[in-house]
A and B are shown apart, each in its own frame.
Chain A
Amino acid sequence: MKKPIFILFMICLTSSLCFAADEYDSFLSFQEQQRFHALTRELRCLVCQNQTLDQSNAALAADLRAKIYHQIQEGKSDKQIMAYLTSRYGDYILYRPPFNRYTLLLWCGPFLLLILAISYLFFYLSKARQTK
């Protein structure tokens, strides 16, 4: 008797694995589909900010997917589509922030900390050796 309940439970779980961005798949060639999904996975939904456009069910995300779909059909390159979206929503829409003076600390910060930590380690070790 427990088995059907278990199966039902598993079915419930699979629903969370479904993504929202399948509505255009039938209209695009395989190559364009790949591009469409690659693009929407790189872009942030501006309403539910921790989801990609690919995952989000928000109305705005659906509209943005429609925009990307149309632009792919118009023959725009990935670069052009990205440029269009950042010209409207800023770098914020990109999950991979570009390297510029505002993101300098973001990109270099971890390496800076690593250098600091290593130099402290050397400092500490040489001091420990001296006291021996």
Chain B
Amino acid sequence: MNIKRLLPFILFISIIVLFWRGLGLHPNEIPSPLMNETVPQFHLPLLFNPAHSLSNQDFYGHITLLNIWATWCSVCAEEQDFLLQIAKQNDFYLYGLNYKDDPAQAKKWLAHYGNPYRLIGIDETGQVAIDWGVYGTPETFIIDQKGIIRYKHVGALTSNNWETELLPIIKKLQMEAK
């Protein structure tokens, strides 16, 4: 008798718990199927040297961070200060993929906000970004020494998510290489 009376209450509480958890989900963060896959094959002209290219061949022998950015992306501007900070560490190569942008505009933007990248490939049509499973800017990939994608971060890098999410992975990759 007592249990029967409690039943609606228990049901109510469990629905509340379910909905509460639903509120905490991030439907904008789509898990990438490229995790632990080799870098997709691509070839992009370099922003500052269009005769040369950034390609999947440039991802071997070192840890790489690939940052997808654009001048029309306001969050990318917010992120730039932090990228300049982390680029000072020599633990990894930081590459940029300039996404659906105007190269002249991109150069101007970098002159203003600073250029943390070792190499920048320009993807004016956004077709290479699709091969990388990009769906928004900024996005940052961590690629290990063997050219395998190990992590993807969607949204701006901050000292907070850097310390808690990305740096531990980089440290782990360094340990693995030793």
Interface of A toward B, CB cutoff 8 Å: 46-47, 49, 59-60, 63-64, 66-67, 86-90, 92
- In the complex, are the beta carbons of A89 and B135 less than 8 A apart? yes
Mask: chain B, 1-42; 1 = CB below 8 Å from A; 0 = not:
000000000000000000000000001101111100000000
Task: Tell whether A66 pairs with B33 under 8 Å between CB atoms, given A59-B100, A89-B133.
Answer: no
Residue pairs across A and B with CB atoms within 8 Å: the count is 44
* Chain B interface residue bracket vs A: 10 to 19
Contact partners of A87 in chain B: CB under 8 A: 33-34
Chain A, Cβ-Cβ closest to B126: A63
Does residue B78 face the partner (Cβ distance < 8 Å to A)?
no
Does residue B111 face the partner (Cβ distance < 8 Å to A)?
no
Does residue B90 face the partner (Cβ distance < 8 Å to A)?
no
Q: Which of B28, B33, B126 contacts A90 (CB 8 A)?
A: B33
Does residue B175 face the partner (Cβ distance < 8 Å to A)?
no
Does residue B56 face the partner (Cβ distance < 8 Å to A)?
no
Chain A, Cβ-Cβ closest to B72: A59
Alpha-carbon distance A49/B25, docked complex (angstroms): 14
Does residue B136 face the partner (Cβ distance < 8 Å to A)?
yes
Alpha-carbon distance A5/B66, docked complex (angstroms): 54
Contact partners of B132 in chain A: CB under 8 A: 88
Does residue B104 face the partner (Cβ distance < 8 Å to A)?
no
Does residue B58 face the partner (Cβ distance < 8 Å to A)?
no
Task: Tell whether A67 pairs with B130 under 8 Å between CB atoms, given A47-B136, A89-B135.
Answer: yes
Task: Tell whether A92 pairs with B127 under 8 Å between CB atoms, given A47-B135, A47-B136.
Answer: no
Q: Which of B31, B125, B131, B136 contacts A88 (CB 8 A)?
A: B131
- In the complex, are the beta carbons of A90 and B135 less than 8 A apart? no
